[in-house]
Amino acid sequence: MAQKISVIIPVLNEGEVFIQTLTSLQPLRARGHEVIVVDGGSKEASLTQPQLLADRVIHGPKGRSRQMNAGAIVASGEIFLFLHADTLLPEGADHLIISNMGKRGRVWGHFDVCLSGKHLLLRIVEFLMNWRSRLTGIATGDQGIFIKRVAFQCVGGFPEIDLMEDISLSKILKKIGPPLCLWQRVATSSRRWEKNGIIRTVLLMWYLRLAYFLGDDPKHLASLYGKSKPS
């Protein structure tokens, strides 16, 4: 394949769900792409299994934005794909990204998303998430954001803030050009919604985004977001 993709995954105490994600990426590695894991200080005793399933496992400062920037520094691909540890790519994701970016002349983009749970409300949530990102041009990390290396370096990478780094980066990238919105879906875990309640989680996310828009400190928002994380 003409272009190489570097899949960069920030992790922190992710457990077995993370191994499932890494296993699903082995066909991409077989086609010449690379997988880079950036650990932010996991308490698990060993990272032996990730080391067998990734091209590189490095340690970075805690925080998704900092971890993803650290991964980008060592990445060798022409395109960076930032993937959450509990998210699975659609089949042939590399072909979808490379061919569509080339045909449509885009430097960044994202997939649509589906949530893993069966509840009907989750179908509504994912529908709203997908159309919100299409209408606003703002992507979130669980949609699998991909960016050409040159564009990522041009904007200085992810703003190193404690939360909303994906939204902040999207706003910056929109000044370069609109995102490529792929209809194919990544599958991301619905464990947060299932643990804390779907409506409650939606309201929390709306509140966090509104507070960020109004200028609240991302560190404070990150503390609220962290309290809702499933163990």
Count the domains in the chain. Answer: 1
- The predicted-structure confidence for 43-97, as pLDDT tens digits, reads as follows 765 565 677 799 999 988 888 999 999 999 999 999 999 999 999 999 999 999 9
Which of 167, 174, 144, 171 lies closest to 225 in space, CA to CA?
167
Q: What is the CATH number of the domain that holds 139?
A: 3.90.550.10
Distance CA 151, CA 180 (A): 14
Which of 33, 35, 31, 2 lies closest to 21 in space, CA to CA?
35
End-to-end CA distance of the chain: 39
Which of 100, 124, 122 lies closest to 111 in space, CA to CA?
100
pLDDT at residue 44, rounded to an integer: 62
pLDDT at residue 17, rounded to an integer: 76
Indicate the SS3 state at residue 214. Answer: coil
Q: Divide the 231 residues of the chain into consecutive groups of 10 and give the mean pLDDT of each group.
A: 90 81 95 94 65 88 93 97 95 96 94 92 91 92 96 95 89 94 94 78 76 71 62 45
- Give pTM, 2 decimals: 0.89
Mean per-residue pLDDT of the chain: 88
Residue 159: domain span: 5-227
Distance CA 65, CA 10 (A): 9
